[in-house]
Amino acid sequence: MNFFAFQLAGAALRALPSGGLWWPGADLLCVSDLHLGKAERMARRGGPMLPPYEVRDTLGRLEQDLAATGAGTVICLGDSFDDLDAAHALPPAERAWLERLVAPRRWIWAEGNHDPDPVPFGGSHAAEVLRAPLVFRHIARPPGGDGAGTPDSGGALAEVSGHYHPKARVNLRSQRITRPCFLLDRKRLILPAYGTYTGGLFSHAAPLSALMDDPAVAILCGPAPCAVPMPR
Amino acid sequence: MSTLPPSFDDWFSRRGWSLHPHQQELLDRAAEPALLLIAPTGGGKTLAGFLPTLAELADGAHKGIHTLYVSPLKALAADIKRNLRTPVDEMGLPIRIEDRTGDTSATARKRQRADPPHILLTTPESLALLTSYEDAPRIFAGLSRVIVDEIHALAESKRGDQLMLALSRLQALAPEMRRVGLSATVEDPAAIAAYLARNPDPCAIVHADPGPDPDIAMLTTDERPPWSGGGGKYAIPAVLEQVRKHRTTLIFHNTRAQAEIFFHNLWLANDDDLPIGIHHGSLAREQRERVEAAMVAGDLRAIVATGSLDLGIDWGDVDLVIQVGAPKNVKRLVQRIGRANHRYNAPSKALLVPANRFEVVECVAALQAVKARDLDGDPRGPGPRDVLCQHIAIRACAGPFDAGELYAEVTSAGAYAGLTREAFDDCLNFVATGGYALRAYDRYQRLQQRPDGLWQLRDPRRARQIRMNIGTIIDTDMLKVRLRGRGGKPLGEVEEGFAATLTAGDTFLIGGRVVRYETLREMVVEVSPRADKEPRIATYMGTKFATSTQLSHRILEMFRSRDWAGLPAHTRDWLELQARVSHLPEADRILVESFTHDGRPHSCIYGFAGRNAMQTLGLLLTQRMEEMGLHPLGFVATDYATLIWGLEPLTDPAPLFAQGDLRAAFEDWLAGNAVMKRTFKSSAIIAGLIERNTPGARATGRQATFSSDILYDTLRRYDPDHLLLDITREEALRGLVDFGRIEELLARTHGRIDHVQAERVTPLAAPMLLEMGRVPVMGAARERLLAEEAAILLATAGLE
């Protein structure tokens, strides 16, 4: 599998083509913003009836990443479900599939703004996860603030988060391409959304520009992930 | 012969008018269920349509709505209202006339529903909305006539299909309703008649006197046309000269961007300060209305325009039409020429301005076709099912319905006469449940069947959402452009994709002025006026017309016959040079030229299948070249050729064109292709899978929305037989994909391929290098370039 290798606070990490983060040293795979059940939620709320296949598509890719990495630990970094009702409404086959993925490994559901409570598929639930030198949480803490747990508080910890669904645009000589991306600076990593039915926020949007130090890079997902200076 | 009430005769004789024969014939045959009038502009077409209505309403006995008038343009409805008022007021007829469009106030709409006027003037979308109300049966009770204006234009788009479905509904509510269609000159009147009439009612065709042949020629200029481009800038002095010589000139362009640039340059050269305006569909409504008003008042000497002026509105004093850029389509050219000289029986005067050297050839071919009265046009396909899906949802808003009755209504529309019950049920199922093989939404389905067998909305509140999304016009995502500052003046709109390429300080043209991009605020592009910098060009996808099959064949025939007397010397020389260093393209062979340019191998394929098909051919061929390891990087297509460049040279083109393979590749390629995805998106919006408008404001965080491409990919992978994919494949044979014309190309050339390896760029291929609209290939070469570019960017930034 192609990947892009980089360091964050001394941890050797790999950005996968799918948007997953693989940390071989900790035997840990992290994926963010799966948004499982999004189609069901939209239909439930009277919106359009989208093709009801996004759960199996997302799980299929996750299964491939698990097979390729053999990860012993998985962190789902929040917004794993589009809402808690969607989690409970998963059709039996998809529910069983998910449980099959969760069961043989250590699985941590970090809470997100869409899914703040525990979900019934095994694994454990946590507001955030500390694996020094990294702390995993759904929404990045802004710089400054009260300092507790922020990337620059103790100096040694770096933060891995999701939530924003970052994407970036690069101009090639005669063409432009837009892809979901990881955003990386010295102390912070923001993961792209892993779910099939997810859009993106451009790296040059104000919230992302404000969060990321200069210099920062955007690691583009795709067949061969590669890094460019983060477009601001 | 039927006679008019005496007050009409008096009014006619006071004006010194008498009825045209076709006006009399429409009166005489007013009782027939359907009539189609073919008449040139200015032939008293509108009056012919309305006279029977005015006569029937003259005694004041009719209560409620009598006649519905539908036109493709809001402005036309308003214009007709004005024009009808004159005879009605002067004869003192007791007739109430009102228009109803997207611009009509909510209060007026409410009043119209409670107490409909005798004559209601509207558009297909507003009519569809009216039929969605539960009180539609009461509104339309007593409806006696429907007049469809500019039906030739409506019949070319899904707006016409939506209209005809709405009429099928009205016919059920008002069984005595008669239909009248008003059309410009078309190549196949019988097809339009069958489109208009209730199937299988007959529809008589009435022809007005077509008038004298137009006075049409190519504009000769001292300066030669350039090798490529569509601007026609070289001809500006000659065009200004013509404007000076005429009262009012309409200057048509094929695209909005070209109209903008031409207008800009026209002003730079307009030393006499002649009053000249610009009009196109992306300008703010205020701007357009100002130009229209000035035109009606006779204050303008010229208007630079696009297709937005193709229709209807009577400009009165136009005495010259100039077409800049190849006309692409003879029928449209003839209709545009008809915009000049509305006085009956005076010849229309028109000049063609080829924008580049190749268009000289096309213009000469078009002139020959106009002289021969040889109009072109492609037969319509069956009624599109995405429009039918929307119609079913609209019908559900109006109240419970029986599926069998609705099917009978739908098949009474000519375009849907061949629709099977099974195909209808598929559409119904899609609207009700999403139509997925995996039945996931039974709890949430949109329509449900009641115990008595009727279908109804599961949640009546859905009706609001459905009504907000009525319509079949799919614009590319456009962003509004405003002058910066509080209450900044709206200027128009640009495509979101273009706006995304702008950075602060960039300049572009809109509404004929140069503006500077400042910022993007709440999805509005804010600009400031700026005149000191060369503008970049605003791009509009708009509709790109492809040169018609018939016109392409005329051009190839001109190459073959070597009958070049009509061509200027510079163009003859160019073609002769091409014949010497390579070949001239032939109708029954595919010419491929390969050469190296700028250090990269290029191949130019001459197919003469029209822009859309040549674009699709580019996508197909580059995919096959990708498979062959030639690393294509991109291509550009025109109406006559496709130029491909890549990392490796093409040595043997024959395998690229193996017909069966190409068709199979087409099926495969449908997969990842951008044009196909755009086609899918349009159908998904029309059919109601994607909602453009939702109650409440536009979502602010863009990460909440995701691309329709994802839906397309998901359906292809997990539900390949889904109705919307089937509709997308059907659409792909025409329109943007236009695979039908690739099939025509393959059939006429039948594997006969000439490959010329040239030492340098050939004369015919040279202009292709300057063409805009290059399409990148999403292949391995792209990943390679991306990796290279990323390394350069990182190194430049001092990272790693």
Higher confidence at residue B534 or residue B722? B722
Tell me the percentage of chain A whose pLDDT exceeds 70.
Answer: 93
Residue B411 within a domain: yes
A4-229 maps to which CATH number?
3.60.21
Q: Which candidate, A100, A71, A58, places its Cα nearest to that of A193?
A: A58
> Is the confidence at residue B477, as pLDDT, over 70?
no
What token pair was written down for A40?
């069901």
Within this chain, do residues B616 and B749 fall inside the same structural domain, yes or no?
yes
Q: Distance from A97 to chain B by nearest Cα, in Å? A: 17
Task: Please tell me the distance from the alpha carbon of residue B162 to that of residue B143, in angstroms, as a whole number.
Answer: 19
Burial B568-603 (b: 16+ CB within 10 A, else e): beebeebbeebeeebbbbbeebbbbbbbeeeeebbb
Task: Please tell me the distance from the alpha carbon of residue B143 to that of residue B450, in angstroms, as a whole number.
Answer: 31
> Is the confidence at residue B82, as pLDDT, over 60?
yes
Q: Distance from B776 to chain A by nearest Cα, in Å? A: 6
**Which of B462, B785, B800 is opposite residue A172, by nearest beta carbon?**
B785
Within this chain, do residues B437 and B492 fall inside the same structural domain, yes or no?
no
Q: Which candidate, A229, A189, A231, places its Cα nearest to that of A23?
A: A189
Chain A residues inside the 8 Å CB shell of B799: 215, 217, 227, 229
B504-522 pLDDT tens trace: 777 788 877 788 888 777 6
Q: Which candidate, B335, B35, B34, places its Cα nearest to that of B206?
A: B35
- Dihedral, CA atoms, B455, B458, B464, B466, nearest 10 degrees? -60
| Domain residue extents for chain A | 4-229
Chain B residues inside the 8 Å CB shell of A49: 433-434, 436, 441, 444-446, 689
Sequence letter at residue B534:
E
B246-256 pLDDT tens trace: 999 999 998 88
Within this chain, do residues B334 and B250 fall inside the same structural domain, yes or no?
yes
**Which of B444, B688, B799 is opposite residue A44, by nearest beta carbon?**
B444
B280-309 pLDDT tens trace: 877 887 888 888 888 878 899 999 988 777
Residue B58 within a domain: no
Tell me the percentage of chain B whose pLDDT exceeds 90.
Answer: 48
Task: Please tell me the distance from the alpha carbon of residue B430 to that of residue A40, in angstroms, as a whole number.
Answer: 16
Determine the Cα angle at B162 with ends B157 and B165, to 5°: 135
Q: Give strand ranges (E) for B24-79.
A: 34-38, 67-70
> Is the confidence at residue B124, as pLDDT, over 90?
yes
**What ipTM was reported for this prediction?**
0.90
Task: Please tell me the distance from the alpha carbon of residue B55 to that of residue B51, in angstroms, as a whole number.
Answer: 6
Within this chain, do residues B363 and B219 fall inside the same structural domain, yes or no?
yes
Within this chain, do residues B357 and B395 fall inside the same structural domain, yes or no?
no
Per-residue confidence band for B533, with pLDDT thresholds at 50, 70 and 90? low
Within this chain, do residues B438 and B292 fall inside the same structural domain, yes or no?
no
Task: Please tell me the distance from the alpha carbon of residue B622 to that of residue B632, in angstroms, as a whole number.
Answer: 6
Residue A194 DSSP code: -
Task: Please tell me the distance from the alpha carbon of residue A203 to that of residue A36, in angstroms, as a whole number.
Answer: 24
B417-471 pLDDT tens trace: 999 999 999 999 999 999 999 888 888 899 999 999 999 999 998 999 999 999 9
Q: Which candidate, B683, B660, B684, B639, places its Cα nearest to that of B747?
A: B660
> Is the confidence at residue B375, as pLDDT, over 90?
no
Per-residue confidence band for B531, with pLDDT thresholds at 50, 70 and 90? low
> Is the confidence at residue B347, as pLDDT, over 90?
no
Within this chain, do residues B590 and B724 fall inside the same structural domain, yes or no?
yes
Q: Are A208 and A164 in contact (CB under 8 A)?
A: yes
Chain A residues inside the 8 Å CB shell of B701: 201
Average pLDDT over residues A147-169: 77
* Minimum CA–CA partner of B774 in chain A: A174
Residue B49 within a domain: no
Per-residue confidence band for B542, with pLDDT thresholds at 50, 70 and 90? very low
> According to the model, what pLDDT value does residue B313 have?
60
Per-residue confidence band for B699, with pLDDT thresholds at 50, 70 and 90? very low
Q: Are B250 and B306 in contact (CB under 8 A)?
A: no
The phi-psi region of residue B529 (left if phi > 0; otherwise alpha if psi is between -120 and 50; otherwise beta) is beta
> Is the confidence at residue B242, as pLDDT, over 60?
yes
What is the domain-level CATH number for residue B295? 3.40.50.300
Q: Are B132 and B466 in contact (CB under 8 A)?
A: yes
- Quick one: CA dihedral A147, A152, A155, A160, positive or negative? positive
Q: Are B438 and A49 inside 8 Å of each other by CB?
A: no
Within this chain, do residues B390 and B363 fall inside the same structural domain, yes or no?
no
What token pair was written down for B12?
């006619």
Within this chain, do residues B503 and B415 fall inside the same structural domain, yes or no?
no
Residue B202 within a domain: no
A101-112 pLDDT tens trace: 999 999 999 999
Number of A–B residue contacts, CB under 8 Å: 130
Residue B762 within a domain: yes
Per the prediction, chain B carries an average pLDDT of 87
A6 touches chain B (CB under 8 A): no
> According to the model, what pLDDT value does residue B521 have?
72
> According to the model, what pLDDT value does residue A147 have?
42
Q: Are A223 and B783 inside 8 Å of each other by CB?
A: yes
Q: Where are the alpha helices (DSSP H) in B372-495?
A: 385-397, 403-410, 421-433, 462-468
Counting the structural domains of chain B, the total is 4
Task: Please tell me the distance from the alpha carbon of residue B741 to that of residue B607, in angstroms, as a whole number.
Answer: 10
> According to the model, what pLDDT value does residue A207 have?
92
A72-117 pLDDT tens trace: 999 999 999 999 999 999 999 999 999 999 999 999 999 999 998 8
Q: Distance from A205 to chain B by nearest Cα, in Å? A: 10
Residue B221 within a domain: yes
Q: Are A169 and B500 inside 8 Å of each other by CB?
A: yes
pTM, to two decimals: 0.86
Q: Are A53 and B718 inside 8 Å of each other by CB?
A: yes
Cβ neighbours of residue B433 under 8 Å, at least 6 residues apart? Answer: A49, B439, B441, B442, B445, B446
Please give the residue range of the domain that contains residue B713.
582-693+703-781
What token pair was written down for B33?
């269920």
Within this chain, do residues B640 and B711 fall inside the same structural domain, yes or no?
yes
Within this chain, do residues B347 and B391 fall inside the same structural domain, yes or no?
no
Q: Which candidate, B95, B91, B113, B92, places its Cα nearest to that of B104?
A: B113
Q: Are B718 and A226 inside 8 Å of each other by CB?
A: no
Q: Distance from B189 to chain A by nearest Cα, in Å? A: 40
Q: Distance from B402 to chain A by nearest Cα, in Å? A: 23
**Which of A199, A222, A229 is opposite residue B704, by nearest beta carbon?**
A199
* Minimum CA–CA partner of B636 in chain A: A174
Within this chain, do residues B420 and B505 fall inside the same structural domain, yes or no?
no
**SS3 for A179?**
strand
Total residue count of chain B as it appears in this document = 800
Per the prediction, chain A carries an average pLDDT of 91
Q: Are B714 and A57 inside 8 Å of each other by CB?
A: yes
